[in-house]
């Protein structure tokens, strides 16, 4: 039986991953932010050493994209330095590391899905700090899984926000010039476990997003429709009309050739996943 350690276990993805592993009867330890300081080298080495052998999945991250613009050193501590310490500990112990990253390492100027080996060029502080973490993980033989537009039952996310707004009245303005892939944390958790245990999957970079593509506006309309609310209440706006401290890539669609090369199925279409997730999403908001 594989032994698992999940860091960031209190977050949206970490919660789903730990739950999935426990449902499967796996030996898993989930550590939330208060359980382990990932910048405490001695504590990290001790936690990883207790595995003996197994898999560490790092779901811990600074995810406040806008706040990182004025707190980049603090974000870098979590997204970069902590990953370096964890990756080094895993390499020393002979433990496999899977590190979760982001599409924000790309600049968003593409027009077709980014392959795993496409040159990176982050346009904001969050993306730069996540890229530092990627490089640390890869330098120590780890695996990086980039994801995007996560939603799930556990934690704040765009889907929950739209469900609450749909319950009110009036129009809702949503950006229509950013393309991406809404990704269900439950689907990603299943792919992470498959990747970690597949003998045909070498270390490297994989893109862990649901397939297809849509704008935030189109995504919001789908949510309104599932609720039985009028999708016409969703009004498209440009990013310029909705300025944020951190610039967002306009195109964040990721390709999935890495899964195919490793003999694994890519994740299903985002719309199919959203429909499957729907009962848990609405229950969490009610």
> Residue 34 has which token pair?
């208060």
State yes or no: is 126 an active-site residue: yes
> Residue 57 has which token pair?
């999945």
The percent helix, strand, coil of the chain (3-state, each to 5) is 45, 15, 40
> Environment class of residue 71 by beta-carbon count within 10 Å: exposed (0-12), middle (13-18) or buried (19+)?
middle
CA 178 to each of CA 108, 161, 174, 215, 229: distance values in angstroms, whole numbers, following the listed order: 9, 18, 10, 5, 23
Name the strand (E) or helix (H) holding 234: strand 234-237
Torsion-angle region of 108 (φ positive above 0: left; ψ -120 to 50: alpha; else: beta)? left
Q: Which of 126, 151, 217, 219 is catalytic?
A: 126
Of 232, 222, 234, give the one whose Cα is nearest residue 273: 222
Residues ≥6 apart with Cβ < 8 Å to 16: 152, 153, 154, 185, 186, 188, 189
Distance CA 274, CA 282 (A): 11
Residue positions annotated with a catalytic role: 126
């Amino acid at each position: 039986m594989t032994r698992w350690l999940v860091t960031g276990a209190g977050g949206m993805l970490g919660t789903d991953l730990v739950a999935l592993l426990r449902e499967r009867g796996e030996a898993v330890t989930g550590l939330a932010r208060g359980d382990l300081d990932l910048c405490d080298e001695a504590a990290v080495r001790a936690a990883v050493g207790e595995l003996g052998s197994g898999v560490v999945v790092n779901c811990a991250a600074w995810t406040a994209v806008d706040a990182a613009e004025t707190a980049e050193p603090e974000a870098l501590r979590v997204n970069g330095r902590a990953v370096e310490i964890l990756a080094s500990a895993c390499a020393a112990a002979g433990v496999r590391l899977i590190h979760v990253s982001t599409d924000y390492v790309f600049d968003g100027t593409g027009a077709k899905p980014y392959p795993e080996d496409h040159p990176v060029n982050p346009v904001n502080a969050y993306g730069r700090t996540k890229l530092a973490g990627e490089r640390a993980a890869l330098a120590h033989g780890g695996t990086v899984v980039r994801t995007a537009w996560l939603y799930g039952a556990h934690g704040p996310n765009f889907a929950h926000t739209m469900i609450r707004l749909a319950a009110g009245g009036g129009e809702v303005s949503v950006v229509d010039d950013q393309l991406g892939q809404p990704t269900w944390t439950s689907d990603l958790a299943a792919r992470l476990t498959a990747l970690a245990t597949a003998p045909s999957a070498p270390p490297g970079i994989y893109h862990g997003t649901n397939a297809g593509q849509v704008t935030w506006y189109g995504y919001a309309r789908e949510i309104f429709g599932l609720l039985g609310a009028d999708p016409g209440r969703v009004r498209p706006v440009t990013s310029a009309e909705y300025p944020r401290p951190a610039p967002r890539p306009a195109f964040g669609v990721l390709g999935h050739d890495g899964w195919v090369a490793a003999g694994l199925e890519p994740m299903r279409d985002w719309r199919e996943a959203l429909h499957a997730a729907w009962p848990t999403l609405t229950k969490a908001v009610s």
